Amino acid sequence: MHRDRFFDNHMRGIDWEAVCRKYEPLVARITDRAELNDLLGQMVGELGALHSQTRPGDQRTAQDGSTQAFLGAVFSRAAGGYRLDHIYRTEAELPSEASPLAQPALGLREGDLLTAVNGRPVLEARDLSDLLRNKASQQVLLAFKRGPEALKPVVVTAIDAIRQGSLRYSDWEEGLRRQVDQASQGRVGYLHLRAMGPGDINTFAREFYGQVDREGLILDVRRNNGGNIDSWVIEKLLRRAWAFWTDAHGRPLGTNMQQTFRGHLVVLVDEFTYSDGETFAAGIKALGLGPLIGRRTAGAGAWLTDSNVLVDKGQVRAAEWPQHHIRNGAWIIEGVGVPPDVEVVNLPKETFEGRDRQLETALNLLMDKLGKEPLTPIQPKGIPAYSKAR
């Protein structure tokens, strides 16, 4: 199935039957589907192609295991309880996405001390996580103190690990957006796309049009895990204003084409920018819309239909459609990635300390560009007087 859907009928010069013979002796040692998946993954790895992940089929799952729950925040053990160090931040326009502890009616603050969960003192347990086990999607009663004063108990709904991870990601995004806004005094906007799927269209529309009047924009596709909306996003960035309207006082109302970004653009990429995130980055570069800053992308440039699924829902994805440059037909992205125009490495220690050198470089580049090539303000030259003499 992988052979019949792979983008090269000649399997990139590899003898596929010989590869099969190489791995076939290991089949007799397989004891479950997980080991088969591992073997299939090793086999297709011989092609050196991305988008060739193995997806598990009919596998046994544990039915008696416990699941962990969270509160959308960071706690640290302290004298008397667990200190609320940080409540994860989210987009203010999406109140339904907020952390359980960020609900305005609760009145909680960072620094408050969690003392009990469902009436049980937190320090009696080995860890706070023990008190939240199997509580995901359930209401829990929390007791807090602020200094010596006990606060009114609050009831919140605990969340699962996936939601906790998403909140942590949102907090990272919100932190970078605020950093850019403060450092540029509102002149530069920031927009991050986690992927290129339906939900990311919503993200782009909400955040791009909310910052369309900025003089500069940092569009971050680091860690973007792909999808297929690159053309739609690039289409919005290609729009060019050619006229504008004014009111009776000569004040500009808007441009034609409407909702057009007129400022300078920078795109952030890294080694985890994958699939359609890479196609987007390559398009930005090919169309000259702005420089890429960061690291060379992953190199998953061949797209696919995901149609080679087995009866038990198992799959070894096959990369089906490689990309080529329209100018000269050259092979692009697959296996080589998209190189940045300005290479910047985020060192582990600096990242641990909260520094983002790639973002800093993008911001400095934009501010320098705005100094040298400021955005021309929209200003009418006046309305000619009407004259009957023609």
The residues that are catalytic are: 51, 275, 334
CA–CA dist 81, 227 (Å, integer): 44
Q: Give the residue among 72, 189, 79, 232 at the shortest CA–CA distance from 142.
A: 72
What CA–CA distance (Å, rounded) separates 192 from 168? 14
Contacts of 330 (CB under 8 A, 6+ apart): 324
DSSP 317-377: ----B-EE-TTT--EEBTTTB---SEE----HHHHHTT--HHHHHHHHHHHHHHHHSPPPP
Cβ neighbors of 347 (< 8 A, separation 6 or more) are: 357
Q: Which helix (H) or strand (E) holds 115?
A: strand 113-117
The tokens describing 91, both together, are 């987009």
Cα–Cα distances in Å, from 247 out to 14, 144, 252, 253? Answer: 68, 55, 7, 7
